[in-house]
Amino acid sequence: MIAPVLTLHAHPTAWTGWEERVRLMVRPRRFEHVVRVAELAAQIAAANGLDVARAYAAGILHDVARDLPDAELLRLAPPECEIDGLHPLALHGRAGRSLLERWGYADPVVLEAVEDHTTGPRGGNGVAQAVYIADVSEPGRGVNADIRELALQDLTAALERAIISKVSYLQGKGITVHPRTLRSYHALPCCAHLAASCPPAEPVTSSAFR
């Protein structure tokens, strides 16, 4: 565990309280994943000159709403589109942000990373990019080791590969791609300038969310 990260917070005791809240909100195996994401996000941040403390915090907080019942997810994050209503698990990023804000967590960089980890980072939030990549490539998943290694060298290239990989995976499984993810996908340089080399990204018929 990257313990020095905690010393970068102005109030490390208060931060420990946030980590404990997450531990109580999720199943034990989920919390193991959360810690691995936080550690990898911090490593990626350090390798790319980003805020390591924020990356670690966002990694710990990213799945705070992941194990909530569907009804609670819908209450915290009213659907934006049909996918959200049919598959409330897609809302757990937005619901997590809403829950944290209600609890008084106020760092906008971290909150955006929590919100966007399910559908893809927007804009230039490097912390959100680090967490998104860490979530899809942390060692416990057993996949995307190439993305994990690339992120330690070239965050932009790793993000591109991660989003393309996610869209390709979902479509290969016959799972509808969320509109937010499609926007992130179509904003990639390869899709803007080399559209023919990118896989197609049209929504398909069925939907499921991890």
- The CATH number of the domain holding residue 126 is 1.10.3210.10
Structure tokens at 37: 């994401």
Bridge partners, residue 73, by sequence: none
DSSP secondary structure code for residue 173 in this structure: T
Residue 194 forms part of a structural domain: no
Chain segment 30-80, per-residue pLDDT in tens: 999 999 999 999 999 999 999 999 999 999 999 999 999 999 999 999 999
| pLDDT of 3 above 90 | no
Model pLDDT for residues 138-180, shown as the tens digit of each residue: 999 999 999 999 999 999 999 999 999 889 888 899 988 999 9
* pLDDT at residue 193, rounded to an integer: 56
| pLDDT at 126 exceeding the cut of 70 | yes
Q: How many Å apart are CA 12 and CA 53, to the nearest integer?
A: 11
Rg of the Cα atoms in the chain: 16
How many domains does the chain fold into?
1
Q: Note whether residue 83 is domain-resident.
A: yes
CB distance 141 to 131 below 8 Å = no
Q: Is residue 140 part of a domain?
A: yes
pLDDT score for 201: 43
Q: Please tell me the total number of residues recorded for the chain in this structure.
A: 210
Average pLDDT of the chain to the nearest whole number: 87
Range of the domain at 45: 3-155
More confident residue, 46 or 205: 46
Q: How far apart are CA 61 and CA 70, in angstroms?
A: 19
The confidence score (pLDDT) of residue 204 equals 33
**pLDDT surpassing 50 at residue 1:** no
